[in-house]
Amino acid sequence: MDLLSRPRRLRGKQALRDMVRETRVSKNGLIYPVFVKEGNQIKEEIPSMPGQYRYSLDTLAYELEKVQKSGVRGVLFFGIPKEKDACGSGAWADDGIVQKAVELAKKEFPDLYLITDVCLCEYTSHGHCGLLHGQNVDNDSTLEVLAKTALSHVQAGADMVAPSDMMDGRILAIRNLLDKSGYVNTPIMSYAVKYSSAFYGPFRDAAGSAPAFGDRKTYQMDFHNRREAIKEAELDLAEGADIIMVKPGLAYLDIVREIADRFPVPCAVYSVSGEYSMMKAAAMAGYIDEAAVVSESAVSMFRAGADILISYYAKEIAGYITEGRIG
């Protein structure tokens, strides 16, 4: 048969397939989320996320050592306080759990890059991501509190802050306060494109952050919308965001591609708790090859345009890169 173009020519040997690979995955682009909890001698497995744990400060170092040895260089801290109140005051307390975790990590693991989630939902008694006015989340009064929280994280030693609340104007509020306080070089990774998603269920179990009433659809995005994602990203960049995040991951790869193509800044994607738990449950049931499926899904996010992947499988993905399974 007279065929001049034969795509199979470039698939003949592994060395050649590696050579012409379009998507390269690096450990440098991985971030591992870590749950830190007030208390002592805590290493609690999260029932809905097998293999994931909540750590107290005295057990945190053991996990961070594993993260560092895996080759993952970035961690994202989420805090779980002992006590909550209506305004989430534990979020910006100097002796808050995230602030203490950052101080410990900065001292014991100076080579790790420390990122903190900035939100109120883990700290408020009502579980919403902002201050309430009656039954409504009040956008503008929340901004000052979020900025105070971000500043307290940076003062404790955080290298980057990542606001996840989805309040309008919070990037500008945080940027202005950080700059005013002398932290002009501290970057902001914005959860700019965060959809109201059913994939967050296990996280709310892990962090104890389910809303006591209602839902978060008045501030998180409708999953039917694409143009709104572009609008949110444009607004956050205009307010001073340095990295744009899309969350969740697998069900939103079209949005990842859209953001990556449109904006000349790094694009992060958060492969969320529900994605992790589905893959873990299927693997535990023997339905899938866990390593193969995790590898394929991770590559799909980088292929879609992500520069950064936040994943509960980050340590395993780093191992798969070392093994040559992906890369």
What residues are annotated to the active site?
194, 247
For residues 150 and 161, what is the distance between their CA atoms, to the nearest angstrom? 6
Q: What is the largest CA-CA distance in the chain?
A: 75
Q: Enter the tokens of residue 123.
A: 């700290």
Q: How many CA atoms lie within 13 A of 140 on its CB side?
A: 0
240: left (phi over 0), alpha (psi -120 to 50) or beta: left
Give the 3-state secondary structure of residue 78: strand
Name, in order, each residue with C-beta under 8 angstroms of 130's C-beta and a sequence gap of 6 or more.
120, 137, 138, 139, 141, 142, 145, 146, 165, 167, 219
| Beta-ladder partners of 137 | 132
Q: Enter the tokens of residue 245.
A: 């995040």
Give the 3-state secondary structure of residue 184: coil
For residues 162 and 150, what is the distance between their CA atoms, to the nearest angstrom? 8
Residues 232-270: b if buried by 16+ CB within 10 A, e if exposed: bbebbbebbbbbbbbbbbbebbebbbbbbeebebbbbbb
